[in-house]
Structure 1
C-alpha cells in the first residue's frame, strides 16, 4: 500500500499550491481531493467548514495518507486548529494535518519595506483574522490590511479570469484596499485561486507593490518540515504518482483543474 501526501481544497485552487509542491518534491506519491460538490467554502460557517474538512481529512487517512496539507485558506483558517488540537489526538496522534496560513505568515514580513502588508482573501478567511494573528506573532511591527474579494472565486471558477469583465472587480477591490492603506508595498494572495488573476492584479497596482502567491512558500515550508520530521518522511512512499479525486463531476473537474495544475488531470469521483 502506498502512503501518499494528501492535498486538499474545497475546489480547484489548491492545485496552484500542489503545482509548486510537485515541482519541489516530485519523488513523493500524492492524492489530491477537491470537495467541488460543496464548494465554495468561503462564506460557510466555522462549524460547517470544520465538519466538511474533517470529513475529507478522515477520507485521506482511509486512503493511507499520514500527512494532509489543507491547500485551502478557508479550511486552514476555520478548521485546522480544531482538527490539530481536538480531532487528531482522538483519531490518530501519529497523523499530521498542515495548512497554508502559517507558512505564509512566517515569511511575509521579509518581503515588505514599508511594514504595510495587504491580504486578499475570501470573506471567511478575512473574518477569521487568522492572517492578522499569525503575522503579528512573527512580525509584530507589520501592519496587516485585509480585503475580502467575494467575486473573484466565482469569476475564476466560471472561466472568466482572463476576460475584460474581470477587470472591473479586480480594480474595485484593489482600489478600495490601496485607498484605505496607500503605504502597502506587499500584497499576499491569501486564496489559492487568486494566482490565476495575478497578471490583472499587478496591472491595477502601483509599480512598487509586489504580489506574493503562496505556492512556492508552502512548497519550501513542506520541504523543510519533512527534513525536520523524519518520523513522517520515512513513512511516505516515493513512486512519483498522483491520483486526483473530486466529490463533483470528474469531467468538469478535469477541464478546470488542468488550468490550475498546469498539466492534464484525470480524476475519479468519490462520495464522502
Structure 2
C-alpha cells in the first residue's frame, strides 16, 4: 500500500501567498512545501464567488494530485469565497482524510487580544470585503467588536507591478486609509486582509495614526499551523520533512521568477509551469 505522505501545499491566486510561505518556512523550515500560484488568472479579487470557487478547487486538486495531504489557501479571497464549500462539499468526495485550511480564521482568532477599543478595521480586496468573511468570523468569536472594512482595489496591481514604493502608491494608500478612518475613528487595529499588503506596510504606517496596530497575517498563520500539527499529530506525520520548496505557476517560469523576487529572497527557485483544468 502506497504511503500517503507529501509536502505542505500552499495556494494563492497570485504572489501574495509567498508572504505566508515565507513566514511558515521561517517557523517550520524542516518541512517540504509545494507552492502553486494561479498567476495567469490573477487577480481573483473582483471575480464572482462561482469563478473563485472553481479556480481554487482546480488548484487544490492539483496539489492533492502531487501528493499534498494538507493545503493552505494563502489567499484571503479564496479563503473567503471557496474554503467553506471545498471543506464541506468537496473534501468528503475527494479524500476525507486530507485537509484544506485558510488564512482568515487564524487572523481572526488573535484579534480579541489585540484591540483595546474593540473597534477593528479591515483593508482587503473587493471580493474579501464583499464576502463579509472577516465581519462574520469576528462577530462569532468576539460579538463586542465593531468591524469596519474597505476595499483597496489598486493595492495589488501596485505591488505586482513593483510600484509599491512609488509616489503613486502613496496616493492610493492615503486614499483608502483615510476613507477607513472616516468610517470609524475609534479603530485601534487594522487587519491587512490580503497577503500582498505587507509589502505596503511602510506606506500604510505613514498614513495611519501612530496608536493603531497594523496586523499582518503571516506569523499568525504560521503559528496556527504549528498548533494545528500539535493537535493533529496524524496529519503532521503525513507531511514530509526534507526542507525543500517547489513552485508551480500557471504563468511562464520567467515571469514567475521575476515577480516572485519582489516577495521572496531566494536567488534560485525550482519552478514549473502548469495548466489547470
TM-score by structure 1 length?
A: 0.98
How far off its partner does 1:151 sit?
0.5
Residue from 249, 253, 259 that aligns with 2:252? 249
Where 1:37 maps in the other structure, the secondary structure is helix
Counterpart in the other structure of 2:232: 229
Distance 1:22 1:53 in 2: 22
Counterpart in the other structure of 1:154: 157
Counterpart in the other structure of 1:124: 127
Where 1:160 maps in the other structure, the secondary structure is coil
Distance 2:236 2:159 in 1: 35
1:271 matches 2:266: no
Count, aligned residues: 272
Counterpart in the other structure of 1:98: 101
Counterpart in the other structure of 1:262: 265
Query: Does the 8 Å CA contact 2:155/2:197 hold for their aligned counterparts?
Result: yes
Distance 2:169 2:29 in 1: 34
Where 2:35 maps in the other structure, the secondary structure is strand
Q: What is the correspondence of 1:147-226 to structure 2 with a 5 Å cutoff?
A: 147-226=150-229
Counterpart in the other structure of 2:77: 74
What are the ranges of 5 or more consecutive residues in structure 2 without an aligned counterpart?
Answer: none
How far off its partner does 1:252 sit?
1.2
How far off its partner does 1:165 sit?
1.2
Query: Does the 8 Å CA contact 2:72/2:102 hold for their aligned counterparts?
Result: yes
Where 2:190 maps in the other structure, the secondary structure is strand
Residue from 115, 135, 159 that aligns with 1:112? 115
How far off its partner does 1:266 sit?
3.8
Distance 2:144 2:265 in 1: 37
Where 1:187 maps in the other structure, the secondary structure is strand
Q: Residue by residue, what CA displacement relative to the aligned partner does 1:140-183 show, whole Å, maximum 9, x if unpaired?
A: 11111001000100111111001111100000000000011111
Distance 1:237 1:194 in 2: 30
Counterpart in the other structure of 1:85: 88
What are the ranges of 5 or more consecutive residues in structure 1 without an aligned counterpart?
Answer: none
Counterpart in the other structure of 1:51: 54
Counterpart in the other structure of 1:141: 144
TM-score by structure 2 length?
A: 0.97
Q: What is the correspondence of 1:19-38 to structure 2 with a 5 Å cutoff?
A: 19-38=22-41
